[in-house]
Chains A and B, each alone.
Chain A
């Protein structure tokens, strides 16, 4: 029974089997933080392989699903641990009128693997729903994905609405998606634009500390 085995079960998508080992390790005194650290390291390796097209989205999804299953057990022990930092919260979704969610899903998995707490609102998300969720979750950042040129204005609409609602500056506003660009992000006043999920996670880590 070792953290290495937990990592391997996570990669294989065997969340329940991993949980059994995690319970055993904790009962024998292994700190939850060490297990958590091993899992995030493994997810980072998987993320790097995904970026290099050595593994693909299904591998990431299956491991991400197992990661969340393990976290359900681990989080109780992590919260109890002294000095644990509260993870930053990121609300994500695809803008209203847009039903594409692959980019947003990848962002969600990569952010989770980097230790963020992710609240995924799904696709076709009304701007008010983003604002409500950001307030409810005390979000540090809100990420809006758009996959079509006719839905990109939904990102701009959200930024205007945040200002009108008096929430400007309370969280970072991040935009992305295939037809978007850094020029577009600057034009509409977004705080963050990134080429892909990995750059996004890196930028958020830098900006949020």
Chain B
């Protein structure tokens, strides 16, 4: 059971209300409607809480998000029309959403599924992803290093920086070729570490629709159906274009279990924490209605820091996750964007806080992206290992939201004042032995020390 009437949806791009430009729509529709729903549904943030424990608030955020999406619709930059959905259409799509998918194959087969708040049955789905560019000469090795991680259920591999000495550039042959090379490297890496059938979300190097289509090939590239995942973005804010619709069409026809990549900007068009929480929740509804996506990747981020680990953004993700878990059948993951870089204590603290705030709220971890997503080669599997181990331990402890909030507050004290400081750490070549693909001992010692410090705060690691 799954409803997505693709061509009825795409036709909305030709027939919806006309606005000459996006700013006109923003000022006349988006902003006043956002102000209205924040007030009408009484969504308020106290400025202190990290993990929400108020179920009624989560339900109000869900209701506000649905109201907002139905009222505002999606602006199509190419047709200059707003693609609007009726309440009937939204309800039908949400009711028929499939709550779980068996993905990957063989011994790498896994369930990707909805979870509940403080879930006692379904462990989190561990999606490893540095969300960063890596130098082309180490790309395949970096993929192998990530794929070796024990908790890994799926991988979104690093992006390739260059193709044959030229920077991979959107809408150019270098992007298409780099996307193909990315997919080939990934297939090779999977075979070489003995995980040929693991589910990968491919390929991040392909920003455009044509590059995504070029990288799709069952023999050497992105595989069809449940074997691989793909992503299609919602542009900021509540916006799409024909390139995105092309991607959705291609993913649907290729049969992938694909997701909707969505990141509302805190401080942006939705305003403060409350509006951004509503917008981020609305994005999950939008992805299902507009693209027919099977899941969503949430990365609401800070306008100034481009990170997801500030106090208000952790609260926002806890509320979003609870709103989704309590009111829908939609699968979603929570994306960690940290401020700090590899081999810094700050990065470990940020990873721990994101894992605790989202797992106890019914989320699934996706990470770890580092140093505000700015620098090449500046991410390693080690911080991702830590991040996912904290998430897994939170699940095994059956940690409650109240307990998570208490620990998160202690952790926040460790890094909150450091957020404005550039603390970008080290590159993967510095932290790892790139021949054997293992971390150097001093960084393993740091990782061990950080686990001990977190254990002292109340997190019992599984191993």
Contact = CB atoms under 8 A, between A and B. Distances in A.
B3 to A, nearest CB: 28
Interface string A151-180: 111101100000000000000000000111
Contact of B271 (A56, A96, A149, A180): A56
Nearest to B302: A53
B27 A62 contact: yes
Contacts of A50: 267
B205 interface: yes
B170 A58 contact: no
B374 A61 contact: no
A154 B269 contact: no
Contacts of B235: 99-100
B82 to A, nearest CB: 16
Contacts of B116: none
B265 interface: yes
B171 A58 contact: no
Contact of B268 (A56, A152, A181): A56
A99 B78 CA distance: 11
A97 B208 contact: yes
Contacts of A180: 374
Nearest to A103: B303
A150 B207 contact: yes
Given A150-B175, A154-B170, A99 B373 contact: no
A57 interface: yes
Given A56-B267, A98-B170, A178-B306, A150 B205 contact: yes
Contacts of A178: 306, 372-374
Given A105-B23, A178-B372, A99 B207 contact: no
Given A148-B207, A178-B306, A57 B268 contact: yes
B109 interface: no
Given A150-B170, A150-B175, A178-B373, A57 B269 contact: yes
Interface residues of A, number: 33
B170 A97 contact: yes
Interface residues of B, number: 41
B271 A57 contact: yes
B249 interface: no
Given A100-B236, A150-B175, A150-B207, A56 B167 contact: no
B304 interface: yes
A58 B169 contact: no
Contact of B77 (A57, A65, A99, A150): A99
A26 interface: no
A61 B375 contact: no
Nearest to A148: B207
Interface in B264-294: 265, 267-272, 275
Contacts of B34: 58
Interface in A81-100: 96-100
Given A105-B23, A149-B133, A56 B241 contact: no
A9 B208 CA distance: 43
B169 A154 contact: yes
A150 B168 contact: yes
Nearest to B301: A178
B31 A151 contact: no
Contact of A102 (B175, B241, B265, B375): B265
Contacts of A58: 31, 34-35, 269-271
27 contacts: A56-B275, A58-B34, A58-B269, A62-B31, A96-B170, A97-B207, A97-B208, A99-B77, A99-B239, A100-B235, A101-B236, A102-B236, A123-B77, A149-B159, A150-B168, A150-B169, A150-B170, A150-B175, A151-B169, A151-B207, A153-B167, A153-B169, A154-B169, A157-B169, A178-B372, A178-B374, A179-B373
